Every structure is written in structure tokens, then in C-alpha cells.
Amino acid sequence: MDLDPSAEEIAFREHVGRTIKERIAPRYPEWRDNNTTPREMFEIFGEEGLLGFSEADGSFRHTPWLQNIHLYRELAAYSGGLAIATFVQGNLGNEAFYLFGTDEQKREYLSPGIRGRRLFAFANTEPYAGSDASMIKAQAVDMGDHYLVNGSKAYITNADFADDIIFTAVTDPKAERPHKGISMFIVPGDSVGLTRTRMKKYGWKESHLCTLQFDDVKVPKENVLGKLGRGFYQTMELFNNGRIGVASLGFGAALGAYKHVYKHAVKRKAFGMTLIEHESKRNEFADNIARLQAGWLMIQKAAFEADRGRDFKQYASLAKLFNTEEGMRISLWAVITMGARGVIMPNPISDYPHDSLVSLIGEGAPEVQKKVIAGHLDDLLDAL
């Protein structure tokens, strides 16, 4: 793996930095005060080509992961809420249409989606089916010319304002194994019988987390996304890809917290010297910068393998596990090191531990990542 970034990667990162500084930062205080992710943000990122894909002559190109990781890292270091909302649009919504959509569905949904003009949510999790995605209970019954959907979804980002919701439901309750009876669908967000409710939460503040209730919602047959009975497998493919992004979110939270506390430590005096001059604190800063370096290398490795079309899921799980766990530890250490300032509003450093906590859970809890990693121990040992 070449650790020198390509010219394209450097240009992409600089473009991300300029976009955040010039187009997001001036508007962000209002968004934060209103505790919201506005449509305006998606339109900005769409105009700047930062929603995961580009389009030319009717064909679509996936933004390489070695570039995308810079977007999520820089954005999460600035605002975890805006970062996860952007991730859901780009690498769950747009990605689902890119991977599984028909040509017609790509024209209808993906083309405006990558421009931020049509917004998506992805709904798989249910109140009693999270990490075990095969145990969902929502059902889509074949009624001849349409499906009739009943059930509920929970913890769905962007769902209350999404124009369209991609969701999974059981289409074959008699399948020999539960995961083989699940399919994926598209439904308009304003469908009759669909109730959307925003949830209160800690972490990723500006993003909207929602519950969905389906009560006899009609879904046309042409709104099946991908193949009937392949919804579980399609969901797992999206989650495997998405773990690189969530690892970057965890890393970004840790990086943002570290930068804030470092600026504090070189100025704040205690017992006649700055914090950074105390040997114990210098050791803590050294330990944590080493962890950040290790975490970023793991993310780069997963992105490198994914961009080359190789089996990368074990590297994505390694990166996600390490960076979200370390992100939580580093961000909490940063708040403690800030002292009372760390818990006084509006100091942004207090947001990072909450952001790290939800990144730890998203796209599969730590136990799920360990299960994936343990299944590839021989390969990982050989690679060493």
C-alpha cells in the first residue's frame, strides 16, 4: 500500500476543507441552535460533488474510499451530526441505488440524489432487531399489483424529512432461514399509512433520528430494490461498505477532540507551567497521538483494499472496531483534560464523547465487528 496520497486525494481533501470553511461554517451556528440538518446542507454537498458519486453521460462513478474517508474525517471533526446525515445520504441511500437499482431507478432516484435534490433514509433496524438484521418483523404482503406493508422501524437517520425511504421487510415468512425471506423496497416519505417521528437523543446532535410506523402502506411492485429475497444480503453489503465511513466518523470525533484539547494544553497553566509541560500530560498526548496514527492507517488500509475490489470486510471491521472504541476513550480523555471548561456550553468538545458513543453502535456493535474479524484470523495472520 502506497502511503503517499495521490494528487487526487490531496485535491479532494483540500476541496472538502474549503467547502466546510466557506459554505458550511458560516451557516452552522444557526443549524446547531435549531438542532437540525437542513436540506440546504445536502444541496451544498451535492453542488460540490461530495455525496459519494459523480455522473457523466448517464453513467455513475463511485467516489474512491481513499477520498471519501477525508470527507467523513474532516466533517466529523467539525460536526458529527452533519457527518452522519451526509454519510446516510451518500453511502447508504445513494449507494443502495447504485448497487441494486435498475437503470430506471438510477435515473429517477440516484441522479437527483447525488445532487442533494432528493433525500433518502435507510431503514432496516427495528425496536427488537438491531445487530441481528435477519430478525426483522416488518412484513410486505404480496397483494397482486402491490405489496401491503405493516410493521415498525427504529433509530433511522434522516427519516422524517427524507423524500424516499429505503427499507427492508419480510416477503417470505416461510423461508427455510429467516434471512432468505427478506426483500428491500423504496417508499415515498409521505406515503399514506406511514408515520414518521423524530426521537430525542444524545450524540450527532444535528442529525434526525426517527421511528417509522407502517400501517397498511401500499408499495408498488416496481419499488422493489434489487432482487426479491435478497434484502438481507444487500443490507450486509451496504453495512460492510459503510463501516469504512463510520470508522472515519469515529476517528474524526477523536481527532477533533484531540485538536481542541491540545490548543488548550499549550496555553493553560497549572502549578507554574502549561499542561503540556507536565510530564504526565505529555505522555498522555504522546500515547493518544500514537493511537490516532494507528487508527488512520487502519482506515486507509480498508479503503485501499475496497478501492481495488478486494475482500476488505475484515479490514473495515478492524478499522471500525478500533477507531470507534479509541474515539470514545480519546474524546472522553480530552473532556476530562479540559477540566470544567469541558462541560460548559457552548464548548464543542463536550459533543465528541457522545458522537463517539453512537459511532460505536452504528453499522454493527463491537461484538459484530469481532465476529467478522474472528472469521478471518487466518487471512489476517497471513497478511502479517
Domain range annotation of the chain? 7-118, 122-229, 232-383
363 catalytically annotated: yes
Q: What cell numbers appear for 373 in the block?
A: 474479524
What φ, ψ does residue 310 adopt, rounded to 5°? Answer: -90, 170
* H or E element, residue 224: none
Which superfamily is assigned to 7-118 in CATH?
A: Acyl-CoA dehydrogenase/oxidase, N-terminal domain (1.10.540.10)
Peptide bond before residue 188 is cis, with ω within 30 degrees of 0 = no
Q: Which CATH number fits domain 122-229: 3.30.300.210, 2.60.40.10, 2.40.110.10, 3.40.50.300?
A: 2.40.110.10
Residue of 104, 237, 363, 367 with catalytic role:
363
pLDDT for residue 31: 94
Beta strands in 249-320 (DSSP E): 269-270, 273-274
N-term to C-term CA, the chain: 13
Low-confidence ranges of the chain (pLDDT < 50): none
Answer whether 73's CB lies under 8 Å from 198's CB: no
| R_g of the chain, CA atoms, integer Å | 21
Answer whether 242's CB lies under 8 Å from 173's CB: no
Q: How far apart are CA 112 and CA 130, in angstroms?
A: 30
Full DSSP string of 315-350: HHHHHHHHHHHHHHHHHHHHHHHHGGGGGSTT-GGG
Q: Does domain 232-383 have CATH number 3.40.50.720?
A: no
- Which residue type occupies 145? D
pLDDT for residue 40: 96
What φ, ψ does residue 87 adopt, rounded to 5°? Answer: -60, -45
Model pTM score:
0.94
pLDDT for residue 343: 80
Q: What cell numbers appear for 49 in the block?
A: 460533488
Task: Give the three-class secondary structure for 248.
Answer: helix
Q: Do domains 7-118 and 232-383 have the same CATH topology?
A: no
